[in-house]
Homo-oligomer: A and B are copies of this chain.
Amino acid sequence: MSSAAPSAEPRNKTRESLKHHGVRLTRQRQILLDLIDNSGEHLDAERLFQLAKLKDPKLNRVTVYRTLKMLKESGLVDELDLMHQAGDQHFYETRLKQEHAHIICLRCGRVEEFFGEPLQKLRRQVESHFGFQIMLARTEIGGYCAHCQALRAQEMREVAEQPALPPVRRKPL
């Protein structure tokens, strides 16, 4: 990684957009926007709150929820469920990237992104087929990544040999 802030341009785009909607750029919101734009991960409200607290220990969890709600309603972030792999919380990502599907490994929790023409094609077909005006789209695919397929096979063998152990769901790597 270079030392230059990689999100300088997108961040500005986001801030422009907010100003247009008459939204105040408070210190708290700047912190949260930075985190959402910069962290490569898919953050949930709690994780975002923990990260934000490092920069401003007085920042409240409620402010995180309110900011996320506002960003979602302004169309600046997308809300994901990631197949509820880690619970029922929601995850967030900027809408600056091209549309993509999320591929979630149900064993290790790893999330891959898939960009590909079927997504655009689906969009176009839905629009023309129903005369539908698409505002948001979300595709999530759950299953087992190449790595975990092998490990799962191994685990099944072990369970078969030791019937005393129930087939508990393993924690992420």
Contact = CB atoms under 8 A, between A and B. Distances in A.
Contacts of A121: 118, 121
A166 B81 CA distance: 30
A137 B105 CA distance: 12
Contacts of A146: 130-132
A114, A130, A132 — which one has the most chain B CB atoms within 10 A of its CB? A132
Interface string A104-141: 01100000101010110111011001111111111111
Q: How many copies does the complex hold?
A: 2
B116 A139 contact: no
A93 interface: no
A43 to B, nearest CB: 18
Nearest to A145: B132
A81 B123 CA distance: 19
Contacts of A141: 123, 126, 132, 134, 136-138
A136 to B, nearest CB: 5
Contact of A145 (B101, B116, B130): B130
A112 B130 CA distance: 9
A136 B83 contact: yes
Given A132-B143, A132-B145, A146-B130, A118 B122 contact: yes
19 contacts: A101-B122, A114-B122, A114-B129, A116-B122, A118-B118, A118-B119, A118-B125, A122-B122, A130-B145, A131-B149, A132-B144, A133-B149, A134-B142, A135-B142, A135-B143, A136-B143, A137-B139, A137-B140, A139-B139
